[in-house]
Amino acid sequence: MSYEKSRPPRGPAGVTGSAPGAGEVPALVARQAVYNNAMAVVAYELLYREAESDLRAMIIDGRRATLRVIANAALEIGLDRLAGDLPVHINYPRELLVGDHYLPLQPERVVIEVLEDVRADREVVAGISALRARGHRIALDDYCSRETDRALLDVADIVKVALSREAPEDLPRTVRELKARGLRLIAEEVETVEQFERCLDLGFDAFQGYFLQHPQTFRAQRVPSNRIGTLRLLTELSREDATIEEVERVVAQDISMTYRVIRCINSSYYNLPRKVDSIRQAIVILGMDALRQLCSLVALQGFDDRPPSLIVVAMARARMCEQLARLIAADSGPFFITGLFSMLNVLTGVPLSKLVEELPLAKPVERALVAEEGELGAALRCVRAYERGHWQDVSFGNLPQHVIRAAYVDAVFWAEQTRAMMHA
């Protein structure tokens, strides 16, 4: 849309003043609805944004902007969240129309908008034809009868007529000519009730513009890449069948993790008779379960921008789930990681259902986190009930109430003591 591209750029493409973390670019996409003549939304146009505060696109590199929109919409935010089951329109500059630029888009859902400065040379026509052959519909963006290359009409399905570029006296003739070709017409840049009513009378099929809706900006809910890598590492460590060699290799992948783990092991908290200088030594001396716990606690230090009380709650949950497992003679590893990860939605601001998609969790852990299912879910449910004082729901297996209470007291004491050790 022309008024989406009219502002001068404020800096290099992809640079934003509101990045969520050092070196991270937020995953942003704006959308603007397309309405039919019954005022029902029939599609959304997806628009590039550098920052959430931007009201219009700030574009230098059209190809890069389109690729960013596609990546953010399809991979980060999700087309379902942005558009439900409705089609989306995405702007394509010439660079993406020509050559072999096949992008993994659903043809039945994505309408390709050919930008207004594209000319119908042989390469462009061949590229558009290839997109149509894959099932995409083609829309001509910002159409103007006096400026748009009319040869593009032969390979289009939809024409978006820019009201700011088409002379009012030419509009009736333009509509008649395009309708005669069997093209679907969208009036864009509809900014007043008078423009809307006139376009409705002229026979436009759909409408888009500030009169109907301003673009809305969406941000992806995701964990910063440095943290998601650490969480994946913890997930690997939680595997019950992990060997000493595999655990050593996984921890060694994160140099910072290795350093902090060894530093903690050599602290006065453990009071070991000799210095530990490798992960293998740590496994031999502490055992696999203790090392898993230590790695988990070290990882929590990466969430130092969150209130310390949340870290303590996560640690206490992990410990209590672990204690409940031991009381029924179950493998405590998955219980510990379930309790720990149950606080990730609060620590990261990302829903657990989204997090489990990004982490290679064992199915029982995943089901426990998302739906409190299975034995792991029962332990987590018991812990949450105790935290909230819902005494009628505090139960796990056939354990007596006083035993569960002792597990909770132990967990809270352990969490506070361990946190103090980690910050010593």
Pair (321, 376) in one structural domain: yes
Confidence band (pLDDT; 50, 70, 90) for 72? confident
Instruction: Pick the more confident residue, 21 or 247.
Output: 247
Pair (13, 95) in one structural domain: yes
Q: What is the CATH number of the domain that holds 146?
A: 3.20.20.450
Pair (238, 209) in one structural domain: no
Instruction: Pick the more confident residue, 1 or 379.
Output: 379
- With a cut of 50, say whether residue 225 has pLDDT above it: no
The answer to whether the beta carbons of residues 31 and 215 sit under 8 Å apart is yes
Instruction: Pick the more confident residue, 318 or 281.
Output: 318
Mean pLDDT of 105-117: 90
Of 219, 242, 259, the residue at which a domain comes to its end is: 219
For the chain, what is the mean pLDDT? 80
Question: SS3 for the chain, per residue?
Answer: CHHHCCCCCCCCCCCCCCCCCCCCCCCEEEEEEEEECCCCEEEEEEECCCCCCCCCCCCCCHHHHHHHHHHHHHHHHCHHHHHCCCCEEEEECHHHHCCCCCCCCCCCCEEEEECCCCCCCHHHHHHHHHHHHHCCEEEEEEECCCCCCHHHHHHCCEEEEECCCCCCCCHHHHHHHHHHCCCEEEEECCCCHHHHHHHHHHCCCEEECCCCCCCEEEECCCCCHHHHHHHHHHHHHCCCCCCHHHHHHHHHCCHHHHHHHHHHHCCCCCCCCCCCCCHHHHHHHHCHHHHHHHHHHHHHHHHCCCCHHHHHHHHHHHHHHHHHHHHCCCCHHHHHHHHHHCCHHHHHCCCHHHHHHHCCCCHHHHHHHHHCCHHHHHHHHHHHHHHHCCHHHCCCCCCCHHHHHHHHHHHHHHHHHHHHHHCC
Which range has highest mean pLDDT (152-156, 247-251, 333-337)? 152-156
Pair (30, 142) in one structural domain: yes
Domain count of the chain? 2
Angle CA(286)–CA(405)–CA(363) in degrees, nearest 5?
60
Pair (301, 376) in one structural domain: yes
CB contact burial 298-327 (16+ within 10 A = b; e otherwise): bbbbbbeebeeeebbbbbbbbbbbbbbbeb
Mean pLDDT of 303-323: 81
Token reading at 182:
């069997």
Give residues with Cβ within 8 angstroms of 410, minimum separation 6. Answer: 319, 320, 323
- With a cut of 90, say whether residue 407 has pLDDT above it: yes
Lowest pLDDT segment from 72-76, 106-110, 166-170, 209-213: 72-76
Confidence (pLDDT) at 111: 95
Confidence (pLDDT) at 273: 76
- With a cut of 80, say whether residue 192 has pLDDT above it: yes
The answer to whether the beta carbons of residues 91 and 113 sit under 8 Å apart is yes
Confidence band (pLDDT; 50, 70, 90) for 424? low
**Alpha-carbon distances of 278 from 238, 263, 284, 298, 352, rounded to whole Å:** 20, 10, 10, 16, 34
Return d(Cα 68, Cα 260) in angstroms, integer: 36
Q: What is the pLDDT of residues 138-189, one digit of tens each?
A: 999 999 999 999 999 999 999 999 999 999 999 999 999 999 999 999 999 9
Nearest C-alpha neighbor of 349 from the set 261, 211, 258, 227:
227
Q: What is the CATH number of the domain that holds 307?
A: 1.10.3210.10
Pair (249, 397) in one structural domain: yes
Instruction: Pick the more confident residue, 242 or 136.
Output: 136
Q: Give the global pTM.
A: 0.51
Confidence (pLDDT) at 19: 36
Pair (175, 74) in one structural domain: yes
Give residues with Cβ within 8 angstroms of 281, minimum separation 6. Answer: none
Nearest C-alpha neighbor of 206 from the set 32, 36, 33:
36
Pair (316, 367) in one structural domain: yes
- With a cut of 90, say whether residue 56 has pLDDT above it: no
Confidence (pLDDT) at 307: 64
Confidence (pLDDT) at 229: 63
% of the chain at pLDDT higher than 90: 37
Return d(Cα 211, Cα 195) in angstroms, integer: 9
Confidence band (pLDDT; 50, 70, 90) for 417? confident
- With a cut of 90, say whether residue 377 has pLDDT above it: yes
Confidence band (pLDDT; 50, 70, 90) for 282? confident
Pair (191, 53) in one structural domain: yes
Pair (407, 263) in one structural domain: yes
Pair (43, 126) in one structural domain: yes
- What's the domain range around 333? 225-422
> Residue 76: what are its φ and ψ, rounded to 5°?
-95, -55
Pair (396, 261) in one structural domain: yes
Of 200, 219, 238, the residue at which a domain comes to its end is: 219
Mean pLDDT of 112-132: 92
Q: What is the pLDDT of residues 3-26, one digit of tens each?
A: 454 333 333 223 233 334 434 456
- Cα dihedral across residues 48, 49, 50, 54: positive or negative: positive
Confidence band (pLDDT; 50, 70, 90) for 343? confident
Q: How far separated are the first and last CA of the chain, in Å rounded?
A: 57
Confidence (pLDDT) at 406: 93
Confidence (pLDDT) at 217: 78
**Alpha-carbon distances of 169 from 139, 153, 175, 195, 342, rounded to whole Å:** 23, 21, 11, 13, 63
Of 219, 237, 270, the residue at which a domain comes to its end is: 219
Lowest pLDDT segment from 114-123, 350-359, 385-394: 350-359
Return d(Cα 66, Cα 348) in angstroms, integer: 28
